[in-house]
Amino acid sequence: MAKITVLGCGMVGSAIVKDLALQHKVLAIDANESALQTVTDMANVSRQVLDVNDQSALQATVQSSDLVINAVPGFLGFKTLQHIITAGKNVVDIAFYPEDALSLDELAKAHHVTAIVDMGVAPGMSNVILGCYDALMQVEDFKCYVGGLPKVRTWPFCYKAPFSPLDVIEEYTRPARLMEHGTVVQKPALSDRELMEFDYVGTLEAFNTDGLRSLLTTMSHIPNMQEKTLRYPGHIELIQALIHSGFLQQTPLNINGQEVIPREVTSHLLRQQWLLQPGEQEFTVMRINLSGTFEGKPCSVQYDLYDEYDPISQISSMARTTGYVCAAAANLVLSGQYAQTGISPPEYVGKDSACFDFIMDYLQQRSITYRKTQD
């Protein structure tokens, strides 16, 4: 039974704790005592309040761990990962920060650390699937569509955020990088709207977001790649109204002698509107399309995911589809099945067929099913 430290006990972090505690001893860490209440009275789980900004305290705490999970908010993620690596600890990371994790590759290798980053649903499983097929065929086109949404639409946004609103706002405002005909191009987030139909859901709108991340570097030989976020129709227009009205800008304003940052105020106000309530029904939907050639013949593959809130475990779909991928990767590292030192984005893991099969089986055992169709 290994000892795992999970940093961050929010919606996804707590799901990871609960899953890993079935097989391992887990230390759950969060800066807020209230967050740790979600994992009380659980076998194999201990808790500790700790600010990950305290590097010396963090590194001292993880010293006895066999593996660390980095599930802190995005704005804390990169530095936290750096501290974990410096402590010489293997890590699986789902913090989804804007910085480039590959810049820590030399540091991880110098400390003989295996660090799997972005190991969630997307980025995460989308990369794993692409990595698998890149090793099997000549991929020429990759498209990923993904979103997490409430089943009941509540006006005006018809959206609930399983993550911090600041992280969602970052997704809506950072330019989207795509690969088109072998060249990296930038487009505004929320651009290139598509209306798409999905089983169990109906019509959703898709728009560009900066979700390719490491794929732009590791899969640069694939001429066309894009990721789009899915929302209920009309969401784009509402967010664009906030942007054009200045509600998401980061430049401080002086109002009656008080300096305020519009984005932080907006995030504070949206937190309550976007808060996913305990027991609220929600779902995750994803579609991955790959096309190219296999043994000189045209080939196309599609994977579809539809997953809902689990009323038995009371774990949200987004926490399940993100957290269990992370937990699967943790078990791969702990077993020695994946032991590559340095920074490993998920596509590296997916290239190993045994690792790919392990992750798929791990998710299937938890009723998370990726349906495959192939032409």
Quickly name the fold that domain 125-308 has: Dihydrodipicolinate Reductase; domain 2 (3.30.360)
Class for the domain spanning 3-121+316-369: alpha beta
- Express each pLDDT in 106-153 by its tens digit: 999 999 999 999 999 999 999 999 999 999 999 999 999 999 999 999
CB atoms within 10 A of CB 256: 5
What is the Cα–Cα distance from 221 to 181, expressed in whole angstroms? 10
Is residue 158 classed as helix, strand or coil in its secondary structure? coil
CB 178, CB 144: distance < 8 Å: no
Q: Which two tokens stand for residue 141?
A: 């086109």
In terms of pTM, does the model score above 0.85? yes
| Encoded amino acid at 257, one letter | G
What is the Cα–Cα distance from 165 to 171, expressed in whole angstroms? 10
Q: Which two tokens stand for residue 371?
A: 């349906």
Domain ranges across the chain: 3-121+316-369, 125-308
Is residue 22 classed as helix, strand or coil in its secondary structure? coil
Is residue 152 classed as helix, strand or coil in its secondary structure? coil
Q: Which two tokens stand for residue 129?
A: 């699937």
CA angle 296, 300, 306 (to 5 degrees): 155
What is the Cα–Cα distance from 252 to 267, expressed in whole angstroms? 14
Q: How far does Cα 199 stand from its chain's mean position?
A: 23
- Express each pLDDT in 209-257 by its tens digit: 999 999 999 999 999 999 999 999 999 999 999 999 999 999 999 999 9
- Please give the chain's pLDDT, 375 residues, in tens: 899 999 999 989 999 999 999 999 999 999 999 999 989 889 999 999 999 999 999 999 999 999 999 999 888 999 999 999 999 999 999 998 889 999 999 999 999 999 999 999 999 999 999 999 999 999 999 999 999 999 999 999 999 976 778 888 988 999 999 999 999 999 999 999 999 999 999 999 999 999 999 999 999 999 999 999 999 999 999 999 999 999 999 999 999 999 999 999 999 999 888 988 888 999 999 999 999 999 989 999 999 999 999 999 999 999 999 999 999 999 999 999 999 999 999 999 999 999 999 999 999 999 999 999 998
What is the Cα–Cα distance from 342 to 219, expressed in whole angstroms? 17
How long, in residues, is the chain? 375
What is the Cα–Cα distance from 229 to 71, expressed in whole angstroms? 21
CB 275, CB 161: distance < 8 Å: yes
What is the Cα–Cα distance from 32 to 304, expressed in whole angstroms? 36
